[in-house]
Amino acid sequence: MAFSNLRTCPSCGAVNRIPAKHLADEGRCGSCREPLPPLSSPLQVSSSDFDEIIREARVPVFVDFWAAWCGPCWAAAPEVEALARDLAGEVIVLKIDTERDGKLAGRYRVQSIPNFVIFRNGQPVFQKAGTAPRSEMRQWIAQAAA
């Protein structure tokens, strides 16, 4: 089954399914036809959804590899959430729990967390471990998108 994100219409409350390739797009509600904003918060996804999203995305995909026991991961989380809000429509932000998806973390050689990887056209183009301010994360995305 193909990935779809459920997005609630802010106008009428209808639930809309958004396919991976349209996560960063502004769409229209299937019920009332009012605009649906692009994804503006991080998505926690499984490895199968992850593969589809990075393959189908038309914008850079910023991935936060994290774990619940990791203090620096919790410190970075508000910056990652704000980044998703600030760059809605320009980037898709994913969160991968390394405890649940260790194989996926291993695929990208994640050895310390938080670990951030940016994908473009389905391929990793940037990777960095450790916390960073949102301004620095924005620079990474700008470089990856260039």
Map out the domains of the chain as residue ranges: 4-36, 43-145
Please indicate whether residue 9 is annotated as part of the active site: no
For the entire predicted model, the pTM comes to: 0.92
Characterize the bridge pairing of strands 92-97 and 61-66. parallel
The H-assigned helical ranges of the chain are 47-56, 71-86, 102-107, 134-145
Per-residue pLDDT tens listing for the chain (146 residues): 566 688 899 999 999 999 999 999 999 999 999 999 999 999 999 888 999 999 999 999 999 999 999 999 999 999 999 999 999 999 999 999 999 999 999 999 999 999 999 999 999 999 999 999 999 999 999 998 88
User: Which member of 12, 29, 32, 70 is catalytic?
Assistant: 70
Segment (H or E) for 114: none
**So what's the pLDDT on residue 5?**
85
CATH code for 43-145? 3.40.30.10
- Catalytic pick from 9, 12, 32, 73? 73
